[in-house]
A and B are shown apart, each in its own frame.
Chain A
Amino acid sequence: MAAREPSRFLSRALPRASVPSIRPQGFLSRRNVSDEAPSRRLSDHLSELESGSSLSTPVPEGAAQSFDPVARAKARKTQLPRGRYQFRSPKYDRGPLHPHQPPPASDPSSRLFVPGPFSAPRAEQTYDSTVASDIMSLCYVHTPPGFKPPPKAPRLREWDDSSPYHKNRVLRGPRGGDVLRLLRKPIKFNNIPEIERITIHSYVNKAATENSSWLHVAGIAVQAISNVRVETFKSKTSVANWGIVPGRDSVAVKAELYGENMYHFLGKLVDVVLPRIKDWEGVKGTSGDSSGNITFGMEPENVALFPEIEVNYDMYPPKMIPGCHITLHTSARTDKDARLLLSAMGIPFYGKIVN
């Protein structure tokens, strides 16, 4: 029934709109002389609309006779739950064998459901429309068709069979340390580096030496700038001169940003906060964990520059605003690709560039 309503209104409205009215429709929209041009006539646009409606198709005789929802419902083997039945997601995960399983996180009845996204961040739009293809063309390396790269030496070295004990021994690590670096593949259209997540981490040593208020203020400041609930962490190492015992004191807060939150945070960082830091040259060129994640620190007075903190700066005890470490995790496999991406997104680097 409800589906028929608009079509009735539409059919009544269409002929009226196609007749050019003498009276200007002053209240609704402004009329210009150019509107009378043949290319902009309203009636021309309306004539492009399909006049036929699928709703006016004649219903076959038998369909109305056989439509019996009550009988259909009764014929069901298992009855549907009643209309206002509401599924309750289990509060605790009791394992895959329990009969009461939680729904997927996209289900609104799930306890993990987060509505959204509600906006299209500028940073994401910039990346998708410009930065991605620019990075792809900058990093392009041409290989002629049919080219095969020469095989590389194996990353784990064999033992020379100088001793009979070398048999079945596990392979040796690479030269110069036991760290196996990530392999860098040539950048093509399907592995252009992008920002995966941002971590804001703040270590508050006064939380252990003085009282918990330092941790609380740090937590709410990080929450305010990141729009993400923070996690707290206990110390893992002992620091003698701060009196920190591992496993006893909660000393750090961390927020992990993904998706929309991440791009909004990056936009704020690049547009508002970083340009206002006094005498800031940029992120050090030696920063990075050599697998594509770049970290830099922010002093407390720079954290206070974030617009969310600045607007009600008075509500934070000024001494307690924390500094933090910001880690930008990218999908690049090496630091140089990550730096190229971040410099395109507006984060400057200075000093000697080390990969």
Chain B
Amino acid sequence: MKSLSPALASLANVFRVPMSMAPARPSVSRVCHEILRQQQKPGPVTAALQASSFSTTSAMAKRKSGGSTTDKRITMIRYFLHHPLTPRPLRFSRNRYLRHWTIHRAWQLFQAQQRRKQELELMRQYQSMQEACEELRTGAGDGGKLFRVSMNKKGIFTEMFPIEYARMQTDSPPAEGWNYDWKKPERR
């Protein structure tokens, strides 16, 4: 079998590429497979066939007092929890580093522009709200009654948003977006 360079072998190990038949560290699939095989209960036919000559149970598991009584699933959870999955830091040559840096700066710039746009939009909304309220207060001609009604904050902080409002937006909303027949169910 062709032997890999140590760097390639470790990469293959990190990314779980089955390159060599005997990996330095037992691979995930092998561990899972072995553990699941140990857990498998033989069916009646297999049990009858194996009763006489041959057993898959290991000697340690067969021994009554000895052997580990830990749940196999916990063994597996410990394996994955303490497994060093982090690959080494990325190392780029000069050109690839510059390319990365350019993309990173462009992305930061784009995000900053997005944030700025969002903030300006909110500011525009706020200011037009301010203007509308000022107009309602002074120029509506009803002595400011509408303005006082509009400033009423009753129930905002106690009843809050109805739960139907909170619907996460989707990429593909339904064609019929609104169910007009829907009624809010009565609370018990």
Residues of A that sit less than 8 Å from B by CB? 80-81, 83-89, 106, 108-111, 113, 122-123, 125-126, 128-130, 132-134, 136-142, 144-145, 188-190, 192, 213, 216-217, 219-220, 223, 267, 270-271, 315-317, 320, 336, 339-340, 343-349, 353, 355
Task: Please state if B94 and A85 are interface contacts (CB–CB under 8 Å).
Answer: yes
Task: Please state if A122 and B118 are interface contacts (CB–CB under 8 Å).
Answer: no
Task: Please state if B137 and A317 are interface contacts (CB–CB under 8 Å).
Answer: no
Query: In this complex, which of B80, B91, B160 has the most chain A Cβ atoms within 10 angstroms of its Cβ?
Result: B160
Contacts A89-B89, A213-B74, A216-B78 given; does A140 touch B129 at CB 8 Å: yes
A181 to chain B, nearest CB (A): 16
Task: Please state if B118 and A142 are interface contacts (CB–CB under 8 Å).
Answer: no
Contacts of B104 in A (CB 8 A): 106
Task: Please state if B74 and A188 are interface contacts (CB–CB under 8 Å).
Answer: no
Task: Please state if B134 and A343 are interface contacts (CB–CB under 8 Å).
Answer: no
Give the A-B contact count at a CB cut-off of 8 A. 130
A106 to chain B, nearest CB (A): 6
A258 to chain B, nearest CB (A): 15
Task: Please state if B168 and A132 are interface contacts (CB–CB under 8 Å).
Answer: no
A109-B119 Cα distance, complex, nearest whole Å: 33
Task: Please state if B89 and A113 are interface contacts (CB–CB under 8 Å).
Answer: yes
Chain B facing A: main interface SS: helix
A to B CB contacts below 8 Å, 26 in the list:
A83-B95, A86-B92, A106-B104, A109-B92, A109-B97, A122-B169, A129-B169, A133-B121, A141-B153, A142-B133, A142-B134, A142-B147, A188-B126, A213-B74, A213-B77, A216-B78, A220-B77, A315-B73, A320-B74, A340-B157, A343-B166, A345-B166, A346-B166, A346-B167, A346-B168, A348-B163
A339-B160 Cα distance, complex, nearest whole Å: 8
A322-B125 Cα distance, complex, nearest whole Å: 45
Task: Please state if B122 and A132 are interface contacts (CB–CB under 8 Å).
Answer: yes
A205-B154 Cα distance, complex, nearest whole Å: 45
Residue among B74, B89, B91, B165 making CB contact with A216, cutoff 8 Å: B74
Task: Please state if B123 and A270 are interface contacts (CB–CB under 8 Å).
Answer: no
A353-B157 Cα distance, complex, nearest whole Å: 9
Contacts A133-B125, A189-B126 given; does A217 touch B74 at CB 8 Å: yes
A110-B93 Cα distance, complex, nearest whole Å: 15
B112 to chain A, nearest CB (A): 14
A223-B81 Cα distance, complex, nearest whole Å: 9
Known contacts A189-B125, A344-B165; 8 further A-B pairs (Cβ under 8 A): A108-B89, A111-B89, A113-B89, A136-B126, A213-B78, A220-B77, A267-B168, A336-B157
Q: Is B71 an interface residue (CB 8 A)?
A: yes
Q: Determine the residue in chain A with the shortest Cβ distance to B88.
A: A111
Residue among A123, A136, A219 making CB contact with B125, cutoff 8 Å: A136
Task: Please state if A340 and B169 are interface contacts (CB–CB under 8 Å).
Answer: no
B13 to chain A, nearest CB (A): 20
Q: Is B170 an interface residue (CB 8 A)?
A: yes
A345-B162 Cα distance, complex, nearest whole Å: 10
B93 to chain A, nearest CB (A): 5
Q: Determine the residue in chain A with the shortest Cβ distance to B170.
A: A122
Q: Is B179 an interface residue (CB 8 A)?
A: no
Task: Please state if B129 and A123 are interface contacts (CB–CB under 8 Å).
Answer: no
Contacts of B94 in A (CB 8 A): 80-81, 83-85
Contacts of A113 in B (CB 8 A): 89-90
B172 to chain A, nearest CB (A): 12
Task: Please state if A123 and B119 are interface contacts (CB–CB under 8 Å).
Answer: no
Task: Please state if B81 and A220 are interface contacts (CB–CB under 8 Å).
Answer: yes
Task: Please state if A83 and B168 are interface contacts (CB–CB under 8 Å).
Answer: no
Contacts of A346 in B (CB 8 A): 163, 166-168
Query: In this complex, which of A128, A141, A316 has the most chain B Cβ atoms within 10 angstroms of its Cβ?
Result: A128
Task: Please state if B70 and A213 are interface contacts (CB–CB under 8 Å).
Answer: yes
Q: Is B158 an interface residue (CB 8 A)?
A: yes
Q: Determine the residue in chain B with the shortest Cβ distance to A271.
A: B168
Contacts of A192 in B (CB 8 A): 122
Contacts of B125 in A (CB 8 A): 133, 136-137, 189
Q: Is B100 an interface residue (CB 8 A)?
A: yes
Contacts A89-B89, A113-B90, A344-B166 given; does A142 touch B161 at CB 8 Å: no
A188-B126 Cα distance, complex, nearest whole Å: 7
User: Among residues 135 to 172 in chain B, which have CB atoms less than 8 Å away from a CB atom of chain A?
Assistant: 137, 147, 151, 153, 156-158, 160-161, 163, 165-170
Contacts A136-B122, A339-B157 given; does A142 touch B71 at CB 8 Å: no
A351-B76 Cα distance, complex, nearest whole Å: 43
Q: Determine the residue in chain A with the shortest Cβ distance to B164.
A: A346
Residue among B134, B147, B169 making CB contact with A126, cutoff 8 Å: B169
Contacts A132-B122, A136-B126, A144-B134 given; does A340 touch B77 at CB 8 Å: no
